[in-house]
Each structure stands twice: as C-alpha cells, then as structure tokens.
Amino acid sequence: MKNIVLFGPPGAGKGTQAIILKEKYNLVHISTGDVFRFNIKNKTVLGLLAKKYMDQGDLVPDQVTINMLKAEVEKNSNTNGFIFDGFPRTQSQAEALDEFLTLKGMKINGMVALEVSEDVLVKRLLERGKTSGRTDDTDEGKIRNRFNEYNTKTAILKEYYTEKGCYHGVYGEGSIEEITERLVDVFNTL
C-alpha cells in the first residue's frame, strides 16, 4: 500500500499530477478542498460544522478536517493507497494522520513536494485565473500573500517529513509529462 502526501504551493500542479498518478498506481486521491465541498454541499454533520466556522471567517479546526479525512479513508478501505492533496497543512495534522494510519496498520510512505519558483507560479495562477473563476487567482498581491502563508506554515512539515526520512522534493517546472516522469521516478522508490 502506498500512502503519499502530495505537496506544493498554489499553482504547483498537484491536482493535475494527482489525477495522473492515481490512475497509474490505482490510488484514491483525497483532495481536502473536494472533501470540504462535498461535505458542505451534502450538509453532513462535519460539513455543517465546517461551514459554521468558514461563515464566521475562522479556520476550520484541525479535528474537523481530520475527521472528514478519516471518513474518506474509511470509505475507501479496499484500495492500494491514497494520495493526500492539501493535507496535512500543520504538524499537528501530520501527527494526527500518522496516528490514524498507524491504527489502520498503514503509514505515509513519502511526502512528495513539487518545487516551483514563485515567478513561474504567479504566471500559472494568473493564467488559471482567466478561466477558473477564482478571484484569488487574478490578483498578484493576493497570490504572493498565499505563497507567504504557504512558506511560513509548510516549512515545518518539510522538516517533519525530512526527520522521518520520507521527504522528496521534485522539480515541478517543465511540461506536464516531464514533471510526471520525475514524480514516477520517486513514486517507484516508495
């Protein structure tokens, strides 16, 4: 079983690569954003709770997010593994994920991070903003603020997974195919 944390800043290509990799390795792709949208749209207990925090402009507490992801793992217990996309975002989330997976007899095999220069990311996001409908992809100031947020919060996770011996940085620039090839090289070692 392969359980991978796919990581990278906004615009790094995580979603695109996750779709390719889940097919290649027959894994379940768990995107935190998709899980949130599903739970909110379907008015699950966790979705209503998350929406309450979001409507107040507050961050959804780690435990609510973790419980949503646990439910996704439980729903897909007969799989070859998972690609976690957008989770964990904090060390406490990483520790909670490790605890949960250990109880299930599983572990994170690797954190694979797409590494892309900020200037390339800005171009990608501004281009995506022309068609995505996401207002946060159309303002360079907001985009750079998201990178700052990502860099300050995720440096801890890079250290966390490096200490566990399972951090793998992958150069995330070039064509989709070139990036996929680099990711496959790493996935095949996990």
Closest CA to 73 of 86, 83, 64: 83
Are 161 and 107 in contact by the 8 Å Cβ rule? The answer is no
DSSP notation for 117-165: -HHHHHHHHHHHHHHH--GGGS-HHHHHHHHHHHHHHHHHHHHHHHHTT
Alpha-carbon distance of 136 to 125, in angstroms, equals 9
Give catalytic residues, as residue numbers.
Answer: 14, 89, 128, 134, 146
